[in-house]
Structure formats: C-alpha cells, structure tokens
Structure 1
Amino acid sequence: MIMLKKTSRTFYIPINRLKEGLKEAVAAAYLCMRAIDEIEDHETLADDVKVELLNGIHVAFESKDVVTESQRLLFPYRDILPDVTMRIHEWALLCPPTVTDVVYLNTSKMAKQMAEWVHVSWNIRTEEDLDGYTYSVAGMVGEMLSEIWFWFDGTKSDQEKAVAFGRGLQAVNILRNRKEDLERGVDFFPDGWGTKEMIKYTRRNLKLADSYIVDLKGGPALDFCKIPLTLAHATVNLIAAGGNKLTRDAVMKLVGSIN
C-alpha cells in the first residue's frame, strides 16, 4: 500500500477501502500494470530496449516461475528502472492464488501489446488506432477488473462497458498529459484532432462507464469504480474549461462527496 500511494493518489483511495482478499487482488493487478507502464513511458530507455523488456515480461508472466524470470530480465536495468517496476515479482506474489491466472494473463497480454505500440512509435492516425491503443493500456484493465469482481463475489458486468470504463480513464490521462507527451515526441491524438475532439471521445466513453457502474448494483466493485470515474468526469470538465489537473484538496472534496 505504501508503493500504491506513491504511484497513484487516484487508485490508492479506492483500493485501500476494499475488503481483504479483494484488496490484495486489485492492488497486485494495479501494481503489475503500473510496473510495465513505467517501462513503456520511460524517458531515457531506448525503444528497442523497451520492446525487449515488455516482451520479456509477456513471457515471464506466462512462465511457471514469474519471480525468477522477471528478476533475471530486469536486473541489468536496476539502476534505471523505478522501484515499482523492479519489484514486479513482489506484486505478482501478492495476488491471491485463486485469481493469479486472471492477473498474470492480463499483465502478460498488456505487456505484449505495449511492446507492439512502442515498436510502431505509438503511430495513431485514426480513431480506430486510438481505440486500439486505449484498449491495450486501459480497456484491458476494465476487462480484468470485471473478471476480478466475478471471482470475488460473483458480480457480473458488461465487458464492452468495462472496456469503456478503462478507455475513458485513459483518454482523460491523454488529455491531461498532452503537453508532456508532445515534448517527448508522442502524439496520441488522431490526425486532425484537437482538444475538442478528444474531449468528445473521452465523454462518450465515460458515459458508457457511467452505465457500467450502474449495472454493478452495489457492493465493493461499485464502491471502487465510483471514485476514479468521479475524478475522471471532474478532470475532463476542468480541461474543457481551460484547466488541467485537480488539486489535492479538490480530489479529497470529491471523494468525500461520493456516497
């Protein structure tokens, strides 16, 4: 939970509130995916090294010994990669045994798809390309969470809406990080798109995400999803009004207002 708090103020709060068992599963899933995300977004690693490492994580999480394989892979980069990435084997071990297949499979799949996007230099020209990217790095997380909800207490949810939940949150990040992404030479906006078009895309997915959480009908899954979705709506509204990032006080006020 200390690492989780360091890496995401948005997700620390709802994960920390989850029940025992579910908390470990979602925390493990989040940290594994944050670990590979740090490879994809690393500022100094060469793209060919990123591809090698992400494909290596893909293989490690499909192997019989995630710990040994991931440590062997990452050790040469221990002075370059952040702690959350170097400790990915710890997050893997944190996961409850009865749900490891779900978390490991999705981590492996996401790492492979991230490697493919790095390989093509995040070449996003059309909305279809954007859908593909946002699925690879976030829509897949929505699918995985739906599987975890079902594993924990039998909660069923719509997979298409689950993808939109993840995709909408990622689109908010793309809007918020626009300046930094362009500075590092990456443009996630399709050709001809400006902020107006990306906001429209984001809100369309967040609307589906609203429908997704309505379908959850209570329980820990709903309690978890409400917080990042509320913050996502508030952030996109702020960006539409010319702002960029919610203050810590604004975040805490919004969280406190959620029933």
Structure 2
Amino acid sequence: MNGEIIRQCEEMMKRGSSSFYRAFAGLPSPRREAVHVIYAFCRLIDDSVDEPENAPYTIGELRRLFTDLDTAEGHFIWPALRWLFNSFPQIGRDPFLLQMEGQLRDLTFTHYRTLDELESYCYLVAGTVGEMLLPVLRDDRSEAAVSAGISLGIGMQIVNIMRDVGEDLERGRRYLPLELLEKYGYGAEELERGVVDERFIALMRELRSHAHRWFRLGLAEVDSYPPESAMAVELAGAFYAAILDVIEDAGYDVFAGRAIVGDEAKLRMFRKIAGRYAASEAGRWPVTG
C-alpha cells in the first residue's frame, strides 16, 4: 500500500475532526490506518452534499465510482478503499451505500416530522459508520457489538443536530422534529428567528436525554473490545458527549456559534479514561497536541 495515500486520508481526518483523530490515534496498525480511510470516504460523501462547490465529486459520482471500485481512479480515496477491503475482508459494502443513501436524503427530505424519522436518518448517516468501523476495531463479529456501534453513531448524530441547528437552518434544513416543536409549543417561525426560551430549552433537553440514551447503549459492549479499541471508542463517545455540556453551559443558544470542546477538557477526559487501562496500552495515545 502506498504510504502517501494513507497519509492523505490521515490528513483529511486530522483537519476534519480533531476529536476523532485523537480518539483513534492509539490504535495499532493497520487498524488505525483503516479508520483514517473510512473517515476520509465519509467526509467526501458529506462534503458532496454540504459543500458541493468545493467537493471533488457529486454524491452520484461517488456512488457510481464506489460501485465500480475495482477500476475507480482519479483520487487517492479509491486505492485507499481497495486497500481497506483487501486488508479487512470482513467489512461489508452495504453500510457505505446506506451512508450515501442517507446523505442523498439531505437533498430532498429537509424537514422532519417525528423523532422516529430523525433517528432513521441518524442511522443512515452515522449508525452505518459504526457498522463500518466494527470489523476494524475487533476481529470477531458480535451482533451485540454491531448494535452498540450503531447506537453510538446515532447518539453522536443527535449531538451534531443539536450543535448545528443554526447552520442547518441556513442550508434550508430543519432536523428538529415537528412533533417536538409542537409538544413544547415552539413554532417553526420562532426557530427560524433563533428564539431561545424555556420552550426551546425544554425541547433541547429532551433531545439531550435521547442522545445520552443512545450513548449508554453504544458503550454497553465496550469491555468486549481489544483494549486499544475499547479506549478509542470510549474517548470518541466522551468527546462527543462533552459537546452536550458545552451546549448546556451556553444556555442552549446554538444559534450564536458552534459548541466546541476545548483542548484542556479533552485532555482531562483522556487522562481519566486512560487511567482505567493498563499503562502499556494507554501509553500508546498522544497526551498533548
């Protein structure tokens, strides 16, 4: 495998999500490189919909080239994906296709009516990532672990939706379900104006409780992972759950700016989680930077 190709995937992950990059940095090779490749392809899928003017491919082109992966050329992601599937033959291709299906939904289905609809979307765009990662993070196929991985992804996507309410409105999307707006007597027009009051806070707190429920399900099988993978999963979950605390500390004003977990807070979480693992395993993770 061309090391430069893997390095380009790693750079995409480092730029796109410092939290994920740090969480998975201590995985042994080739698990670590496989995570970089999966992230890079998912980023290309996401950018093809959210930033089409800057993306190298449309979502349709990505799906076509992925379907013809053996002959796909023109970008480092294609040989990287071929390496991924050759190195981890237990990885199925269906989650990648479902991920693209979920992102395609953003082009036509932009206003959600029920929580069930929202969680179905969260499975497509994020729960599938758990399915992609599972064969990389562990050698056996455990149905309980598959379910947990999907749940963690769903919880993370709910956090994304809460954090990005304002940005998504600018893109013409409203992920907050209409049934929750109606439950708390909060109007769609008030959402457009960015009104933050006790009704909006109550709505967001309910979504927060849903996210935490999915996180609990998502971490239920973490003890069955190899230690390096278990720690990576815990770190990723902790970094994302901490976004909810930042949102709460800001009074649930998700219109004024993006909730960001600071480096010091991440370092504290790292030290706390690393302390539960053997020093020989925890020492693989970079503590600073």
Does the 8 Å contact 2:52/2:58 carry over to 1? no
Report the CA distance between 1:101 and its aligned residue: 6.8
What secondary structure is seen at the aligned counterpart in 1 of 2:67? Answer: coil
Change (3 A) 1:210 1:61: same
Q: Which runs of 4+ in 1 moved over 6 A?
A: none
Whether the 8 Å contact between 1:54 and 1:111 is mirrored in structure 2 is: yes
2:125 aligns to what?
137
Q: Cα distance, 1:100 vs. partner?
A: 5.7
| 2:248 equivalent among 228, 240, 252 | 240
Indicate whether 1:154 and 2:140 are aligned: yes
State whether residues 235 and 273 of structure 2, in contact with CA within 8 Å, keep that contact through their aligned partners in structure 1.
yes
Higher helix share: 1
* CA deviation string 1:207-245 (max 9, x = no partner): 21231324x254232021011111122221232333632
Shift of 1:125: 1.0
| Shift in CA distance, 233/224, structure 1 to aligned 2, threshold 3 Å | same
Residue matched to 1:77: none
State the AA in 2 paired with 1:108: L
Alpha-carbon contact 1:143-1:163 (below 8 Å) kept: yes
Q: Alignment partner for residue 112 of structure 1, among 101, 105, 110?
A: 101
Aligned sequence identity (%): 23
Find the aligned partners of 1:33 and 1:3 in 2 and give their Cα distance: 10
**Is 1:58 equivalent to 2:45 in the alignment?**
no
Post-superposition offset of 1:126: 0.6
Contact 1:32/1:91 (<8 A) preserved:
no
Structure 1 gaps of 5+ residues are: 72-85
Stretch of structure 1 that moved more, 166-175 or 187-196: 187-196
Q: Is the 8 A contact 2:101 2:124 kept in 1?
A: no
- Spell out the pairing of 1:174-193 with structure 2 (5 A cutoff): 174-193=161-180
Ranges in structure 2 where 5+ consecutive residues have no aligned partner: 1-9, 181-202, 252-258, 275-289
Q: Provide closer, same or farther for how the CA distance between residues 66 and 108 of structure 1 changes in structure 2, counting only shifts above 3 A.
A: farther
Deviation at 1:94, TM superposition (A): 4.9
The equivalences for 1:1-259 within 5 A come to 1-42=10-51, 53-65=58-70, 67-68=72-73, 71=74, 87-89=76-78, 91-95=80-84, 97-99=86-88, 102=91, 104-115=93-104, 117-150=105-138, 153-154=139-140, 156=142, 157-193=144-180, 194-214=203-223, 216-242=224-250, 244-259=259-274
Normalised by the length of structure 2, the TM-score is 0.72
Conserved? CA contact 2:45–2:100, under 8 Å: yes
8 A Cα contact 1:58 1:109, kept in partner:
no
Shift of 1:190: 0.5
Task: State the alpha-carbon separation in 2 of the partners of residues 130 and 97 from structure 1.
Answer: 34
Letter in structure 2 aligned against 1:102 = I
Structure 1 Cα separation of the partners of residues 225 and 137 of structure 2: 12
- Per the normalisation by structure 1, the TM-score is 0.79
Distance 1:108 1:238, change over 3 A: same
CA contact (8 A) 2:95 2:132 kept: yes
CA deviation digits over 1:115-153, x for unaligned, max 9? 1x1342333111111111100110011122223334xx3
